[in-house]
Structure 1
Amino acid sequence: MLPLHTQPRQDEVFSSWLVRLALENEIPVHTFYYSLLQYHGQIWTRDIDRHPPHELLDLIAQATGQKANALARLCLTSYEGRLYEKLPITGDAPWLMPAGIYHRIRKRPGMQFCPVCLSSDNFPYYRKLWRTSLAAMCDIHHCRLLEYCPSCQAPVAFHQHGMGRLKNLRSDAGRICHNCRYDFADCVIAVADVDTEILEGYAELLTTIKSDHLYYLDLTDGNEFLLFKGIRALVGGLGGRNGFRLRSVLSALLQIPLVPEVGKDFEYQSVQFRMYLMLCVVWLLKGWPERFCEVCAEANFTRSRFSEIYNELPFWISSVVDVRLNLGSTHHSYEEIDSAIKYLSMREGSICWQSLGMLMGLKRDSAKSALNLWLRRGGRG
C-alpha cells in the first residue's frame, strides 16, 4: 500500500486522480507509475480516461485498496448507456470533448475547468463532467467553463506537472498552467446574462449527469440515453447549416448571440457558443413541445429541415416533428389518430396511409407521419 492513498473526490475523472496519487505522495508522475507501481505501458500518450488497461487498474487497486467498480466510475465508460450507447476506444464520440493527443501533448481542449472550483479545492482536481461538451457552464457557480489557459492559450494538461525538468509537485499544481505557470485562480469568470431560471435549469441538467438517481424533466420516462440523444440531435440541428433561422429567432427571444463556427460539430465549437446554445435548448425543454413548435413556426422551420438528422431523432422529438412540423398539415393529437385508425380497422379491416389521410383530411406526408406516429406508439395495423 502507498504511504498516502488519497481517495477519489466527487465526480473526479480518472486521469486527475492518477496525477493526484503521485503528487500527494510527492513523487514525479513518471517515476510513480514506472518505478513504484512497475507499470510500463502507455498512460499519457493515450486518452487514459476512456478505456484504461486492466493491468494498470489492477496495480492501482492493489496499491490503494480501491475496488474495481469504484475505479470504473472515474472513467468515461461510466457514461455508457446515458450520454452514448458505447464509447469507442479512439475517435469522436457524442458529447465527448476531443483531446487531440500527440505523444504526451494535448493539441485540443479535451479538458475544461471552472477556476472557482479549482480555487476552492484543498487539492485541485478535475471533474469527469468537464470532459463533456454538454458541460459549458459550472453547475455549482453558474460561470462559463474555460477551455484554455487565458494567459498562453495552452489546453489543460495537468499530467505535465509531474514530468520534465520543471516538474511541479506542489499540492496546488492542479490549478497552475503547465505551460506558463499562470494561476487559474486569477481567471476572470463570465456568467451569461440570461434569466436565472434558465441558468438553474441548465445546472439542473448537468447535475443529473453526475447523479445516478436524478432525472431531468419527464420527457423519456427516465430513459437518460434517449433524453441525451435527443438533446444532441437538437444542438446538432440548431447549430448546423439548416439552423440559421432558428438561431436568429432564439437569439432575439433570449438576447444571446448564437454564432457557430461553420462546418464544425458541437463538440468542436467554442465553449461560449456551446453554453449559449445549451441555454436555448434548456429553455425549449422547459416548455416542450409548445415552445419548440412556436419557435419553428416563427422561423418557418418545417419537417424537411430535419431531413439530415431525422434518423437520429428519438421518439420524443420525431413524434413532434412528424405531426406538428409538416408543412400545410393540421395538427391532430395521438388520441385523434388512434380513434381514426380504430374506425378504419373496424370498417375496412386494414389500414394504410391513403385511407387515413382521406378520413382525416391529411396530405400524403402528414398521413404517413400520422400512421408512423401511431405505429411507433405501439399501435398495430
Structure 2
Amino acid sequence: MSVRLLPVRFPPLPDELLSSWFVRLAHANGEKSHSLSFKMFDGGLNFVQGGDQNLDRGHDADVLRILALATRTAKERVAASTLGAYSGYLWDEISARGVRRWVMPVLSRSSGRTGYGLQACAECLRSDEMPYFRRSWRLAFHIACPFHGCLLMDHCFACEAPLVIHRGDVGIFTPEPESSARWCSYCRADLADAMISSHKLDADLLEFQILLLSTLRRGWINVGGRVINSVLFFEGLRMLWAFLDAPRWSASFRRGMQRRGFSFIEGQEKRYGGADVRRTEGRHKLLAASGWLLDDWPNRFVEVASEARVSSNHVLHFSLHGQGSTPFWLWKPIHDFLDRSMYVPSDEEITNAFLYLVRLGGRVRQRDVCCLLNMRTNHSFRVAAVMKSCHLL
C-alpha cells in the first residue's frame, strides 16, 4: 500500500509528544488533526481511549510506519516520541489499553471523567520558536520545568479547563500552525500568558526531579550506595507513592513525617485511581516526601516507620499483585526492620537447637534457644515445653 507524502513535513522536536507532533503536522498542512487522521488512516486515530491518549502509546506499528513514510522521518525517531519508548526504563512494556503507571490520564468522554494528564510550562511555550508539548510532561513525577524551575500547569489559567491538544482546532475553519500548543481548546486563552513563573520549585526538589528524568535516559540510579535498574527503581518508587497517598495505611507514617516538616494533601475531591491522577499540589508533596526519604535511604524510612510502628504489610500491600514481587532495594529494609511476623519453629527444630547448645556446654536458657532460631521473642511456652521434655529424656 502506497503512502502519500505530506506537502509540509518535518521531524518531531526534542522530546516532543507524538500527538503534539501530529497536530502540528496537520495544522502546517492546513488540516484539522481529526481530518488528517481520517485521510491518512482507515477510521482515523483514537486520540483518547481507555483513560489515555491511544496515539501516544505507540503500540500500533502501522501508524508509526505510515507517519514515518509520510514525513520521510526515521521510524525510530517517530517511535521515540511515544510513551512506549519508555519501555525498558520506566516499565517492562506498555499495554495498548488501560491506565499505565506514572502516566496521567487525559480527558475521556467515554468514561465521563476529566483527567488533567497533559501539563505544560508557560515559560517554554513563550520562548519556543514553535511551541510544542513535551513527552515527559505526561509523567506524574514531572511537576516542574527543569530549565525554568517553575511548576507545570495542568489546566487553563483562564477557564480552568484541562489541556487537551487534539481539540485545539475545534471551531476553527483554518487552523494556524502554532494554535495546537499556545491556545486553550475551550476559551482560546493564550497559555503562554499564564503567570506562574513566580511559583518556583525548591532547588533540592528540582534536583531530585532532574535525577529521576536522567534515570529514564541512562537506565540506572544509585540509591543508598547500590546501583539499581531504573525499571525496578520506579516500580519501588511507585509503591512508596501509593503507600504515602493512602491515609488508611500510612496515617501514622504520615504523622511521623509531618513532625519533621511534611504536610500532606488529604484530597477532599472525588477521584478515580491512584497517585497518578493527583493534581499538581498533591504530586508535589509526594515527590518531596519520597525525595527526602531516598536522600538517606533506608535510614530515614526505617526511622519514621519504626517510630510509627508501621508493619511490613502496610507497605507491601501496594506491590504489583500478580505482576511481580517487590523490588529488592525496597523489600530488604522492610523485611529486616518492619517484618513483625513471628517465626514458629517446629518441635524438631527446637529440640535440635537445644541439643546443639547443650553440646557447646554451659547452662541453656530459653532465650538462648529463641535467639539461635532467630525468633522475635525471648520467651515461648512451646520452647519451654520442648526443653522440659528434653530434660526428661
Indicate whether the TM-score tops 0.5.
yes
AA paired with 2:122? Answer: P
TM-score norm. by structure 1 comes to: 0.78
**In structure 1, what residue type is equivalent to 2:331?**
S
- Number of the residue aligned with 2:233: 227
Q: Is the 8 A contact 2:48 2:107 kept in 1?
A: no
1:161-200 equivalence runs, <5 A: 161-165=168-172, 168-189=175-196, 196-200=203-207
- CA shift, 1:31, in A, is 3.7
Distance 2:370 2:277 in 1: 43
- Partners of 1:104 and 1:164 in 2: CA distance: 24
Aligned residues: 339
Q: Is 2:372 the counterpart of 1:359?
A: yes
Shift of 1:224: 0.8
| 1:83 corresponds to 2:87 | no
Deviations 1:218-274 (A, max 9, x none): 466341110000000000111112112222332342354432457751112222111
- 1:313: which partner in 2? 326
Paired with 1:120 and 1:362, the residues of 2 have a C-alpha distance of: 63
Distance 1:189 1:55 in 2: 40
Cα deviation for residue 106 of structure 1 reads 8.2
Distance 1:327 1:142, change over 3 A: farther
* Equivalent in 110, 118, 122 of residue 111 of structure 1: 118
Q: Distance in 2 between matches of 1:280 and 1:314?
A: 19
- Aligned pair partner of 2:6 in 2, 19, 39: 2
Is the contact made by 2:221 and 2:229 (CA closer than 8 Å) also made in structure 1? no
Task: For 1:104 and 1:288, locate their aligned partners in 2 and report how far apart those are by CA, in whole Å.
Answer: 40
Q: Distance in 2 between matches of 1:237 and 1:291?
A: 16
Could you tell which deviates more after superposition, 283-292 or 186-195?
A: 186-195
Q: 2:387 matched to which residue of 1?
A: none
Q: Is the 8 A contact 1:50 1:89 kept in 2?
A: yes
- Would the aligned equivalents of 1:202 and 1:279 in 2 still touch at CA under 8 Å? no
The residue aligned with 1:338 is none
Equivalent pair of 1:84/1:93 in contact (CA under 8 Å): no
Q: Contact 2:17 / 2:133 at 8 angstroms: preserved in 1? A: yes
Tell whether the 8 Å contact from 1:106 to 1:156 is kept in structure 2 after alignment: no
SS class of match (2:105) = coil
Counterpart position of 1:41: 44
8 Å Cα contact 1:22/1:28 also seen in 2: yes
- CA shift at 1:75, angstroms? 1.1
What is the aligned counterpart of 1:24 among 5, 28, 43? Answer: 28
Letter in 2 for 1:179: Y
The whole-number CA distance in structure 1 between the counterparts of 2:219 and 2:306 is: 33
Give distance in 2, aligned partners of 1:285 and 1:233: 13
Please state whether the residue corresponding to 1:253 is helix, strand or coil.
coil
Confirm or deny that 1:12 pairs with 2:16. yes
Mapped partners of 2:198, 2:90: distance in 1: 25
Which consecutive aligned stretches of 4+ in structure 1 deviate over 6 angstroms post-superposition? Answer: 103-106, 190-194
Q: Which residue pairs with 2:73 in the alignment?
A: 66
CA contact (8 A) 2:38 2:45 kept: no
Change (3 A) 1:214 1:80: closer
- Quick one: distance in 2 between partners of 1:248 and 1:144? 26
In the alignment, what sits opposite 1:152?
Answer: 159
| Cα-to-partner distance string for 1:293-315 (whole Å, 9 max, x where unaligned) | 12213333232422522565211
Distance 1:42 1:356, change over 3 A: farther
Change (3 A) 1:119 1:126: same
SS at match of 2:283: helix
Question: What is the aligned partner in structure 2 of residue 350 from structure 1?
Answer: none
Is the 8 Å Cα contact of residues 150 and 201 (structure 2) preserved in structure 1? no
Quick one: which amino acid aligns to residue 313 of structure 1?
T
Q: 1:153 to 1:81 in 2, by over 3 A?
A: same
User: Which entry has the higher C-alpha Rg, 1 or 2?
Assistant: 2
The Cα of 1:360 is off from its aligned counterpart by: 6.3
Partner Cα distance (1:86, 1:130) in 2: 19
Deviation at 1:167, TM superposition (A): 5.5
Distance 1:221 1:159, change over 3 A: same
Seen in structure 2, the aligned counterparts of structure 1 residues 205 and 191 have a Cα distance that, compared at 3 Å, is farther
The alignment partner of 2:254 has SS state of helix
Q: CA deviation at 1:105?
A: 9.7
Distance across 2 between alignment mates of 1:239 and 1:105:
24
- Deviation (angstroms), 1:278: 0.9
The answer as to whether partners of 2:311 and 2:340 remain within 8 angstroms in 1 is: yes
Structure 2 CA distance for aligned equivalents of residues 239 and 11 of structure 1: 29
Structure 2 counterpart of 1:208: 215
**Alignment-mate amino acid for residue 217 of structure 1:** N
Matched residue, 1:217:
222
Q: Report the CA distance between 1:198 and its aligned residue.
A: 2.9
Once residues 181 and 284 of structure 2 are traced to their aligned partners in structure 1, the CA distance between those partners, rounded to angstroms, is 24
Q: Aligned residue for 2:147? A: 140
State the distance in 2 between where 1:290 and 1:71 align: 43
Cα 1:173–1:71 shift into 2, 3 Å: closer
Aligned runs of 1:259-274 on 2, under 5 Å? 259-261=266-268, 264-274=273-283
Equivalent position of 1:281 in the other structure: 290
Indicate the residue corresponding to 1:367 in structure 2. none
CA distance in 1, matches of 2:298, 2:266: 24
Question: How many Å separate the matches in 2 of 1:275 and 1:200?
Answer: 13
Cα shift at 1:62: 1.4
Look up the equivalent residue of 1:303 and give its one-letter code: S
RMSD: 3.2
Q: What is the SS of the residue equivalent to 2:153? A: coil
Deviation at residue 279 of structure 1 after TM alignment: 1.4
